Amino acid sequence: MKHDDHRLRASDRLVAPLPALSLDWVSFRSEVVDMSGAASVDDAGSLSGWLRVTPSHQRARHRWVPAVTGATRFAFYGRISTGEYQDATSSRAWQLDSARQAIAGRGRILEEFFDVGCSRLLPWTERPKAAALLTAATSTDRPFNAVVVGEYERAFHGNQLAQITTALASCGVQLWLPETNGPVDLEIRRTRR
């Protein structure tokens, strides 16, 4: 991808390559979910396995969301890899619903960034909407102070989680995931070593 666009150059500087990291050192602040007697999320590959997964791990659809009581201003990021084989409208809807559930009562989504036709293997700086989000994060007058992702596996590959969390934190922006039920905290494991 040619980087003649001045907006992408700012995001390129923001996301500096990190050494290869294993995510087994990353810890999250989250609630403990009792999965006794339930199928694991790993079993969800088959239809029968998916049906046995507890609702907290299923894609959220049309669930009640409590009134906004928090002051956190969020940007939403979501992605689908292909427009030909997936429905962008329904994919965006369930990812946005999942993100809203993750931040329920803690703030509201004020801006949306959704990439269509971009592999998660691509760095964020090469995905148009992700690059725009990173550029917006560097702005002093950005309308958000946190980013919520619709689903981890839609947004990240390899060590991208650590890279993006670090890059956003350098701008004073938190990264939230439904899987962590709140902000990602890369420091938890580091302080335990």
* 6-14 and 128-137 helices, crossing angle to 10°: 70
Reading the block at residue 7, the tokens are 């907006």
* pTM of the predicted model over 0.85: no
What does the pLDDT look like over 8-40, one tens digit per residue? 455 565 665 555 444 444 444 444 333 344 444
Q: Do 165 and 175 form a contact (C-beta atoms < 8 A)?
A: yes
Query: What is the rounded average pLDDT of the residues 113-137?
Result: 96
Query: What is the rounded average pLDDT of the residues 131-152?
Result: 96
Whether 160 has a pLDDT exceeding 60, the answer reads yes
Exposure b/e, 48-75, CB count within 10 A at least 16 = b: eeeeebeeebebbeeeeeeeeeeebbbb
Give the separation between CA 118 and CA 115, rounded to whole angstroms: 6
The domain ranges of the chain are 33-59, 63-192
One-letter amino acid at 67 equals A
Task: Taking the CA atoms of 26, 27, 28 and 31 in sequence, report the sign of the dihedral they define.
Answer: positive
- Greatest CA span in the chain, whole angstroms? 54
Q: Is domain 63-192 annotated with CATH 3.30.160.110?
A: no
Between these two residues, 138 and 42, which has the higher pLDDT value?
138
